[in-house]
């Protein structure tokens, strides 16, 4: 099988000896992102903040791009927060809970998606978790865990460890039918897979930009449906979140009607410039083009894993995965293999009981071949 390439692969300047298979942790920066950051730094050094209004225009473009990425035309519903965990905390501690209510989710979630709901225990809100390892129908089983006290279902679209991609539309439809809110952590899918807000039925969508979106760490998308935006209690306050943020001498204030109400102070304009540039690349390539390129690379990896007699831990069905392929080499502890791979320039992660590879659209066949050869050598050589 020979992998298709995209002409915008040239945007990546990775060392050819490095096998970068770690987009599920931190994606590399495209050239245009590096250039945008360098330009921003140069402008800052030479002109101070003289161009501040232009910087804010970049921020506006970013909000539009993020809205488009989730299939929304409402950029006023997008807040720019520090990270996914902060966005989840804004939701968890903003919803008007009643004692005795519960949140339904998945036991094997990334810690931020568990800890934040467990933190509601002192308010009498319980976290009910589905054991994925015991489920052959995760969507159905999540719905079955709900009862009349369930206020929220909170899941990652794509599970971080082994890459299971959930059918959000199915869960979203259940939530709507039962007056349950639906919170989607989309960090492991956005940038790799098309996302439709309408189809998902999500009330909240959160995702940091440093994985599949090729952005920097520390700048995250937070979408809240307009109806919930107004009812979510606020816990962070400052000049930026008010209706008239430029009027420092106005003493009576109200929170901005837009999602900006969740942004209490100065924006991270350095990261804004970086993420805006990265998303421009995603838009230039097109998510609908990116998805099959990633699928091809994952299929390639699965074939190579099978051929070598390694054990695939990720779902086999393409509709059940996005860009994560986790596997094990029988009789070789992943705890031993992982550091050896890293020391040999295979940038990957140890997750879900195995080695996690996460290629993106620009990953070349040479990279995949080299990575699998190194696994073979280090495990069996």
326 contacts ligand PLP (rule: CB under 6 A): no
110 contacts ligand PLP (rule: CB under 6 A): yes
Rounded Cα distance between 154 and 112, Å, is 11
Closest alpha carbon to 350 in 365, 333, 367, 362: 333
Shortest approach of ligand PLP to residue 67 CB, angstroms? 19
Q: Which is nearer to ligand PLP, 189 or 201 (CB)?
A: 189
328: left (phi over 0), alpha (psi -120 to 50) or beta: beta
**362 DSSP assignment:** T
Shortest approach of ligand PLP to residue 91 CB, angstroms? 13
Instruction: State in Å, rounded, how far the first CA of the chain is from the last one.
Output: 26
Q: What are phi and psi of 228, to 5 degrees?
A: -80, -30
155 contacts ligand PLP (rule: CB under 6 A): no
- Subset of residues 41 to 100 that bind ligand PLP, contact rule: CB under 6 A: 83-85
**351 DSSP assignment:** E
Radius of gyration in angstroms for the set of CA atoms belonging to the chain, rounded to a whole number: 21
108 contacts ligand PLP (rule: CB under 6 A): no
187 contacts ligand PLP (rule: CB under 6 A): yes
Q: From the CB of residue 238, how many other CB atoms can be counted at a distance below 10 Å?
A: 11
Shortest approach of ligand PLP to residue 15 CB, angstroms? 23
Closest alpha carbon to 375 in 321, 315, 342, 297: 342
Shortest approach of ligand PLP to residue 238 CB, angstroms? 21
221 contacts ligand PLP (rule: CB under 6 A): no
Shortest approach of ligand PLP to residue 171 CB, angstroms? 16
Q: Which residue among 11, 101, 139, 208 contacts ligand PLP (CB under 6 A)?
A: 208
Which spans of this chain sit near ligand PLP (rule: CB under 6 A)? 83-85, 110, 112-113, 156, 160, 185, 187-188, 208, 220
């Amino acid at each position: 099988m020979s992998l298709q390439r995209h002409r915008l692969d040239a945007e990546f300047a990775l060392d050819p000896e490095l096998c970068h298979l770690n987009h599920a942790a931190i994606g590399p920066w495209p050239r245009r992102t590096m250039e945008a950051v360098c330009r921003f730094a140069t402008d800052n050094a030479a002109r101070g903040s003289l161009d501040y209004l232009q910087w804010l225009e970049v921020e506006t473009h970013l909000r539009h791009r993020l809205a488009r990425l989730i299939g929304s035309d409402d950029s006023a519903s997008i807040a720019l927060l520090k990270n996914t965990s902060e966005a989840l905390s804004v939701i968890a501690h903003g919803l008007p809970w009643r004692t005795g209510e519960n949140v339904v989710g998945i036991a094997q979630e990334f810690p931020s998606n568990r800890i934040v709901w467990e933190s509601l225990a002192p308010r009498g809100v319980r976290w009910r978790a589905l054991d994925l390892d015991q489920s052959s129908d995760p969507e159905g089983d999540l719905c079955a865990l709900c009862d009349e006290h369930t206020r929220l279902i909170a899941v990652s679209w794509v599970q971080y460890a082994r890459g299971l991609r959930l059918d959000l539309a199915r869960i979203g439809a259940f939530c709507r039918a039962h007056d349950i809110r639906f919170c989607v952590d989309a960090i492991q899918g956005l940038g790799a897979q098309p996302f439709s807000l309408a189809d998902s039925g999500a009330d909240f969508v959160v995702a940091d930009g440093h994985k599949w979106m090729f952005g920097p760490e520390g700048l995250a998308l937070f979408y809240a449906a307009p109806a919930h935006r107004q009812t979510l209690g606020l816990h962070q306050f400052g000049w930026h979140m008010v209706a008239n943020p430029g009027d420092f001498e106005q003493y009576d204030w109200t929170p901005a009607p837009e999602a900006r109400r969740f942004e209490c102070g100065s924006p991270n304009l350095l990261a804004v410039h970086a993420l805006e540039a990265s998303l421009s690349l995603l838009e230039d390539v097109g998510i609908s083009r990116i998805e099959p390129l990633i699928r091809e690379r994952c299929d390639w990896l699965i074939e190579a894993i099978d051929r070598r007699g390694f054990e695939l831990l990720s779902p086999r069905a393409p509709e059940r995965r996005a860009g994560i392929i986790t596997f094990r080499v029988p009789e070789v502890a992943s705890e031993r293999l992982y550091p050896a791979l890293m020391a040999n320039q295979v940038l990957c992660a140890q997750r879900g009981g195995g080695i996690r590879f996460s290629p993106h659209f620009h990953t070349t066949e040479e990279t995949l071949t080299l990575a699998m050869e190194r696994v073979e050598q280090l495990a069996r050589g």
